[in-house]
Structure formats: structure tokens, C-alpha cells
Amino acid sequence: MKYFPFLSALLLCTCGYATPGFAEELSFEAGAKRHLNEVTKGDSSGVAVLVARDGKVVFQGGFGLAEVAKKTPITPETKFRIGSVSKQFTAAAVLKLAEQGRLTLDDSLAKHFPDFAHRSGVTVRHLLTHTSGLHSYTDKPEFLSRVSKPIEPEKLIAWFQGDAPDFAPGAGFHYNNSAYFVLGEIVTKVSGKPLGDYLRETFFEPLEMKDTGIYVNSAPPPVMARVYSFAEGEFSPALDWDMSWAGGAGALYSTVGDLFRWNEALFGGRVVNEASFKAATTPVELLANVDGMKYGYGLMMYEIKRLPAIGHGGGLHGWCSDLLRLPKQHCTVVVLANALPPPPELMPQSISRALVEKLLADEIKALPPVTEDKTVDPKTFTAYVGRYDYQGGIMTMSVEGEALVTQFTDQRKFRIFPKAKDEFFWKVTDAEVVFLRDEKGQVTAARHTQGGNTFTAKKLGEDAVKLTDEQLDSFLGQYQYGPGAVITVSRDGTRPAGHRVHGHGATWARTGVRRPERGPWKLVRCAWRAWSCGPTRLMMDWRTA
């Protein structure tokens, strides 16, 4: 439930989804309709979309199917689970209780949950900003095998409360669903009401959000979309979470209209007071060299074509969402989808950004250009040449003529431009990279910033692990991996990269075998850095058990 929280896919250069383009000659509404109708034609999952400016809806619609088998169309009234978009509602509830003096953000976790006394130093503020160090329960290996069955909140908390912390409170940043689940239970304890009841009475009813609430699997609301996974050109039912596992971290369902009403109220001062809103939209201060996000309380701060934006995405198996606000332009965009992974053209974050770029084209064009530092000698670019571990894949830096060129796994090349010594930017997307050096002046890593996220990617040497045929053969066989699925590991001595394998679950890293945090159970083409042996690669195949 990470941003992707339950989904994270902001990085154009680090994801497999391209930003859609709308025809230049068409109006905003006509171009958006034509594009979205085109990419959802046939028996396809789809999206509900809403765009508003100055409090008025300028475009909304449903595209694709809410239920493929019955060919039920998506409309603006279709309901979707919204995953981690829910976090801002949980944060608002905490802030509301703080305004009433019923708790403070400096309360210790142990004050509300004495069983966390061993996590001294963790405060409510740490929980809100993902700096508590609590280990996220969605990162636990057993999570996916359990998530389809209901669980009581106290049993879920007991399941992770004894886990070793990721870091000391305030010493790091790690997107954390344990923290927001606990925050939801703190709201319940302090208010004396279940989280869903408190949200309904405090926010949903006053704001006339009649189609929003906590999703209960045994009693789904009417006009609810069905959930899918798209892989290898086919739709299949996605793993169905029991939302008792999500709680304050991501259990809400909603519609594009209700989320528009929420954004208008939140940014119009009708949800929390001015001081609370300012705190919620101010990025947490992290220690120097700590990777993280520009994250406030349930909200992220980032830029779209250098226009400041505030919002959050969401994603869990089969569901994908994006809710954003451009405060200076008084613009809201909502995109809700009923497939994860979706067809490539239906990634909500890509759609919402394309809509912003089309709607606000004049404002974007009027921005002063980013200045390229032409005093940086292209001869110095050779120091950056190499491969960098971007976790989701490998970023390769190379020099072509007098240009420094990047290429992410399975994507085309893009040139980057010097901003200063060791600092570069992309023109095709809002991204920057700073190359880090050791005490000897050698480049050892790249610190990448994009979409409100900053992370450090280590520079890789040549394939360090050289395995014999016998060693490679020792890995071959079938492995139980995730609920109801088996991975078959085989060898292919002729192809330079792994073939496409899939099943249900969450997106895999492209650089090795590790338990995914989120997304669809699908492994895209990748270079097996850890198991490389000349032209031979270990190959993987997936089937249901």
C-alpha cells in the first residue's frame, strides 16, 4: 500500500507506463474523451475520471468496463476501493481530534497502545510522517497468504507489534502501513467510535460524500466495480483483499465525485483548521542523506511540469487510484481504476499528469525554462558512466558524443542535462539526479529525485557473481511463492534477459528475486544481475498452484 502507497508509480524513467498524449488540435474535453475511449475499447477494465478548476467540474466520465463479463460500463457514479488515498482521511481525523484537545501529535504511541511500550520514543507525529521506524506489516513475507481472510484489528496489531524496528524514531523514512493502521485504531480509541463511523459523522455526512465509506467485504456497496489483473494481454480476477487488513492505511471506497468534494473542502478550509492544514501539507524534515518522500500528514508534495502539486495515490491488488490538487491553479484531478496491473495506458498517475499537462498547457509554457549549465565540460561525463541499481530496474548511464544519456530497463534512451557539477536534469520529465562521490572523488551512487520521492541508487560494478553451469543448475526447480502460485526456475542460454512471467499479486523488482511490496504479481523482462553468467540467464516461469 505504499505511495502507491498502496501504489508507487510516479517515475516516468523508472516505470513501464508512458504518459498518454492527447491530440493537440482538439479541445481539452474532446481530446481526453477520444483518448480514453480509444484505450478502453473492447472488453477492457477502465477508469473513472474527473477534472475540476475553480470549484467547477470541467470534465468527467467513465471509460471501460466495471464488470467485463457483464459488459457493465464504468460511470462517474461507479465506486472503487481507493487504497492509500485513504491515508489523508485518517490523518485528517487525527488532526481533528488534536484540534479538540483529545490527543496531541506528540503523544507517545505507548500512551494509546501500552503494548508498544518497547517502542519508546515513537509519537503520533512519527506515525503520520512514516518516520516511526515501525516495520510495515505489508512487507512481511506471510502477508499475501493471509490478506484474503478477515482479521480483527487487535490480532493484526499483535501480529506486527513485536517486529524489529527498521530504524530509531525520526532517524529514517519508510512508507509504513503499520503506522496508519495504528493511527486508525487510535482514532477509534480516542473518539470511542469505529473509524468508519467517525469519518462518516465528522466528514462524509457534512460534506455530502454519500458514496464513500469503509469497504466491508461481506456487505459491498451497490454500483461497485469488479477487480482485475491485466497480464500478457488478458484480464483475470485479482487477489481480493479482505479490507479488515487495511483499516486506516487504505480501507476506503469512493467515487470521483466524492473525492472532488473532499478536495474542495480540504483545500477550502472546511476539513481542518489553517494550522492543521499547513502542518499536513509541509514535508517532514528528514536527516541529511536520508532517502524519502516530501510527505506531510497523509499527503505528498511534488511537481508536475514544475507546477506545485499535493496529493496521494493508492494501489492494492486490482485497484489503482490517484487524487491530486494543484493549489495555485485551484485544480483537482481524480482517476480511479479497477485493474492492477492495468493495461499500460490506464495507469492513473500517468492519466492524471497528462490531463494536467493538457489543461494547464498555457501556464506550463509560460514557466521560465530550466537553465542548463553549459560551463560543465562534457569530458567529465565519463565519470558517471555505468549501471545504477534503481531497485525497480537498472539505470544505465552512457556518453554519446558530448551528451550524457540514460536508459532504464526496457525503456528507450533519454538525454540528461547538466544543472551544475554532478547535478543533472531530464527535460522529458520532472526528474533530477545528483551523482555522489567518495573521499577519493570516485562516483559511487546516484541520488534521484522525482515526484516527491528521493532515493539513492548505488553504482554497480561489473557482474561480480560468476557461476558455473553446476552452480546455475542448483537453482533450477519449482518454488512455492505467494498464495496459490509456484515459480519454476529454468535456464535459457540464448536470450539476454528473462522472459515475461506473471500471476496474481504485486509488481516484482526487475533486478532480482525479492518479495514485492505492492502491485501486480508480474515479472517483466529483466537482467538477472545476481545470477548472471555470460550469455546464460536463469529463467523463471509462473503458474498457479
What is the C-alpha separation between 472 and 227, in angstroms, rounded? Answer: 39
Give burial (CB, 10 Å; 0-12/13-18/19+) of 451.
Answer: buried
Decide if 71 contacts 84 (C-beta within 8 A): no
Of the candidates 308, 351, 337, the residue with the CA atom closest to the CA atom of residue 19 = 351
Neighbours of 415 (CB within 10 A): 13
Helix (H) or strand (E) holding 324: strand 319-326
Domain boundaries, the chain: 12-364, 378-460, 469-544
DSSP 170-214: TS-----HHHHHHHHHHHHHHHSS-HHHHHIIIIITTTT-TT-EE
- Segment among 244-258, 376-390, 482-496 with least mean pLDDT: 482-496
Is it the case that residue 537 has pLDDT exceeding 60? no
Topology of domain 378-460, CATH: Lipocalin (2.40.128)
pLDDT of residue 540: 34
pLDDT in tens, 445-481: 999 999 888 999 999 987 656 678 887 788 787 665 5
Provide the whole-model pTM: 0.83
How far is the CA of 255 from the CAs of 81, 274, 322, 355, 450, in angstroms?
Answer: 9, 27, 12, 18, 28
* CATH (one of 3.40.50.1970, 1.10.540.10, 3.40.710.10, 3.30.70.1450) for 12-364: 3.40.710.10
What is the C-alpha separation between 352 and 333, in angstroms, rounded? Answer: 6
pLDDT in tens, 236-245: 999 999 999 9
Going by C-beta distance under 8 Å and a sequence separation of 6 or more, which residues neighbour residue 95? 272, 276, 279, 280, 297
Q: With bands split at pLDDT 50, 70 and 90, how would you rate the model's confidence at 79?
A: very high
pLDDT of residue 527: 27
Decide if 59 contacts 29 (C-beta within 8 A): yes
pLDDT of residue 489: 73
Helix (H) or strand (E) holding 487: strand 485-492
What is the C-alpha separation between 299 and 84, in angstroms, rounded? Answer: 10
pLDDT of residue 123: 98
Of the candidates 17, 12, 49, the residue with the CA atom closest to the CA atom of residue 33 = 49
Q: What is the dihedral of CA 180, 186, 192, 196, to 10 degrees?
A: 0
pLDDT in tens, 287-344: 988 999 999 999 999 999 999 999 999 999 999 999 999 999 999 999 999 999 899 8
Place of cell 462517474: 76
What is the C-alpha separation between 251 and 418, in angstroms, rounded? Answer: 44
Q: Do domains 12-364 and 378-460 have the same CATH topology?
A: no
The three grid cell numbers given for residue 346, joined into one nine-digit string: 490506464
Residue 321: strand pairing partners: 314, 336
Is it the case that residue 391 has pLDDT exceeding 90? no
* Average pLDDT of the residues of the chain: 85
Q: With bands split at pLDDT 50, 70 and 90, how would you rate the model's confidence at 63?
A: very high
